Structure 1
Amino acid sequence: MYDDDSTANELSLLSDRIHWCTRLVTLSCPMVDWATWKHLSHLPTLLTLGIDQGYYDPSSLSNQDIVNLSFLNITSLSFLHVCNAADIITVMQHSQFPSLKEFEFEANYLSSEEAEQLFHALSHCNACRTLEEIFISSLEVRFVGPQNHEFLTPIPHFLCFTQLRTLQLKFSHSSIYLDNNMLLQAMSSWPHIRTLEINYLDDHLSSSEVSLRGLFAAVSLCPQLHTLRVPINIAAIDVDPDSEPIQHTSLRSLELETSETEIADAETLARIISGWLPCVDQVLSIDKRWDKFNKHLKSLRAATAPYVAGAC
């Protein structure tokens, strides 16, 4: 058990010490008060800032002290073990990070409303031309009932990040809405993307409006894409297995999440994936539904190994 008074005193002492530091380059600490945030915004040397709430930190921000801040040179910003997302969102809503390249946010639980506020705040913090890596996760499972199923829409917020290389979104209780048009628009906006991972912990949350044809059309716009994990709808295969494929030779790691109880035509699907994604050896999954598909794909790879090796 933590004593609120002693914790508050420790945070006050920490803030006092930070105020004495004028040449900080890297700082990792618990959540600080608004006066300390203002002090940090005035440090031209500060490049990396990590806040670890520890899941039990008391609220540190007072609304009456809030002003708009600009952190000119911070390139890496992380918030870990977040228990009070409201404070973090407040900081993001009132701050500019014009040099930011990496953003990480790891929450114990993030409601759909808080998640949307975070997405919006991140897209308005003046990092659209610089941000390259985004990692956001909320991993605590809470039963909300099927009638209250929550859909998140981060992709439209993140289209402004034209330098994006990595996007990893992990949610245990909400699914991220994705369809063919949205995925195509995303890949059009992120020509340098190398890793795109959107995943959920529960199978029933992996419903998707992305078809196989939509997937291939989107990845064709990103020649550097190496790792892809997205939900997909394969109830109806909308790609002709005998058509001439447009091969994507950079993609190596592929994980497809589906709400289907089984892969209905695993052999045909393996033929299509083999032709369009020649450097993918398997669909990664702990789910046995993909075992039959992977066996077919392995056989196809063995038959075409001399020809594929040059491309991969």
Structure 2
Amino acid sequence: MLHRCHLLSVDEGLQSFVTRCIALEHLCIHRTPETHDIDNTANELSLLSDRIRWCTRLVTLSCPMLDWETWKHLSHLPTLLKLEIDRGYEDPPSLSNRDLLNLSFLNITSLSFRQLYDSANIITVMQHSQFPSLKKFKFQANYLSLEEAEQLLHALSHCKACRTLEEIIICCLEVGPKYHEFLTPTPHFLCFTQLRTLQLMFTDFCIYLDNDMLLQAMSIWPHIRTLEIDYLDAYIFSSEVTLHGLFTALSLCPHLHTLKIPINIATIDVDPDAEPIQHTSLRSLELETSSEIEDPETLAGIISAWLPCIYRVQNLGRDWDEVNMHLRFLKVATAPYGTYGSLLK
């Protein structure tokens, strides 16, 4: 009657174990092989997939990549709520394109892919699957090409999770070949009206975002709390989002707490004497810019007036150090008596 189990490897012992534990609900398999040859990979994949098809009551599953038959088996499990594919194979056998069916995982609410060496198979699964109850999606790859990124975003936007998806985290961990083209992810996410968290981090290509896109996105994501868009060369390629565009968009997302985006401040397009529309929920602000800050004091005054709960801008650039110094002085000057000591830290 074992309900929960963690295994450290994929081996022959998995067969007898699974067949004896028909009540298993939570299964986590950590793959730690000593060899990485193709034959060994194929054998492990076959053994793992075959044994998991014996599990009919799974609620949560964390394991390496599976074959197509096992994906179909999991789609028929009404109990399955959380699925995590962890540490894919370095040279996995390709999923067969024969008899590909549109799978529907009716009750999965959390779907995660971590430390993937090859994203092609996962993208294939996403392209042929629906997740109408999905709330959390995380995709972490060691490498992702621009074409693969586009395919993944398109598949995610068509997986029938428009009314449920609240959290999207997509990141690429290793630096590969540089792409001079821009990825434009925002239009793919406009269907997700319940979005609370969006975190995108790419190391091999840039992300395009402008004032109109940001404004449109914020008008569709009224519940968003965390928005982080990061790419390796954000400090080189000029952003199309300006300070005025940022503040206009912020007025549409009153619950936003954490914001990280590239911004163009070559020209400050906000009147420092204009009446600000204060955003009082934002607590963490990180801005990447490729241009020098010509007037740190004026910029600090604008940020302080429009974002009263921001005490410093998270950034490693020296120009921002000066902005943050002025921000601290402004906060100290307007802070209630007895609180200025903590603001100077």
State the TM bucket, normalised to the shorter chain: over 0.9
The match for 2:146 is: 112
The match for 1:152 is: 183
Q: Counterpart amino acid of 1:37?
A: W
Shift in Å, 1:300: 0.3
CA contact (8 A) 2:209 2:239 kept: yes
2:97 to 60, 63, 75: 63
- Inter-partner Cα distance in structure 2 for 1:28 and 1:163: 26
CA offsets, 1:235-292, max 9 Å, x none?
00000101110000000000000011x3111000000000000000100012223100
CA offsets, 1:183-212, max 9 Å, x none?
000000100000000011234455211110
Query: Quick one: percent identity of the two aligned structures?
Result: 74
Structure 1 position 240 matched with structure 2 position 264: no
CA contact (8 A) 1:152 1:177 kept: yes
TM-score, normalising length from structure 2? 0.85
Give the 3-state SS of the residue equivalent to 1:192 in structure 2: coil
CA contact (8 A) 1:59 1:84 kept: no
1:297 to 327, 332, 336: 327
The match for 2:280 is: 249
CA contact (8 A) 1:26 1:49 kept: yes
Q: Counterpart amino acid of 2:284?
A: S
Q: Which ranges in structure 1 are unaligned for 5 or more consecutive residues?
A: none
CA offsets, 1:110-136, max 9 Å, x none?
111111111010000000000000000
The match for 1:97 is: 131
Which protein has the larger Cα radius of gyration, Structure 1 or Structure 2? Answer: 2
Structure 1 position 214 matched with structure 2 position 248: no
2:74 to 33, 40, 43: 40
Q: Which runs of 4+ in 1 moved over 4 A?
A: 203-206
How many residue pairs are counted as aligned between the two chains?
304
Structure 1 position 177 matched with structure 2 position 204: no
Q: Counterpart amino acid of 1:186?
A: A
Q: Counterpart amino acid of 1:258?
A: T
CA contact (8 A) 1:175 1:205 kept: no
- Inter-partner Cα distance in structure 2 for 1:186 and 1:158: 8
CA contact (8 A) 1:34 1:62 kept: yes
Q: Counterpart amino acid of 1:223?
A: P
TM-score, normalising length from structure 1? 0.94
CA contact (8 A) 2:296 2:319 kept: no
1:126 to 156, 160, 168: 160
Q: Counterpart amino acid of 2:132?
A: P
- Inter-partner Cα distance in structure 1 for 2:61 and 2:282: 36
- Inter-partner Cα distance in structure 1 for 2:276 and 2:63: 51
The match for 1:52 is: 86
The match for 1:186 is: 217
Give the 3-state SS of the residue equivalent to 1:110 in structure 2: coil
CA contact (8 A) 1:89 1:121 kept: yes
- Inter-partner Cα distance in structure 1 for 2:51 and 2:81: 19
Structure 1 position 81 matched with structure 2 position 111: no
Alpha-carbon RMSD: 1.4
Q: Which ranges in structure 2 are unaligned for 5 or more consecutive residues?
A: 1-34, 340-345
Shift in Å, 1:7: 2.0
Structure 1 position 279 matched with structure 2 position 309: yes
CA contact (8 A) 2:85 2:113 kept: yes
CA contact (8 A) 1:206 1:231 kept: no
CA contact (8 A) 1:34 1:60 kept: no
Give the 3-state SS of the residue equivalent to 2:175 in structure 1: coil
- After TM superposition, the structure 1 stretch with the greater mean CA deviation from structure 2, 135-144 or 155-164, is 135-144
Higher helix share: 1
1:18 to 52, 58, 61: 52
CA contact (8 A) 1:200 1:206 kept: no
CA contact (8 A) 1:55 1:81 kept: no
- Inter-partner Cα distance in structure 1 for 2:260 and 2:128: 33
Q: Counterpart amino acid of 1:267?
A: E
- After TM superposition, the structure 1 stretch with the greater mean CA deviation from structure 2, 80-89 or 233-242, is 80-89
Q: Counterpart amino acid of 1:73?
A: N
Q: Counterpart amino acid of 1:243?
A: A
CA offsets, 1:203-245, max 9 Å, x none?
4455211110000000110010000000100000000101110
CA offsets, 1:167-195, max 9 Å, x none?
00001121111000000000001000000
Structure 1 position 259 matched with structure 2 position 290: yes
Shift in Å, 1:60: 4.2
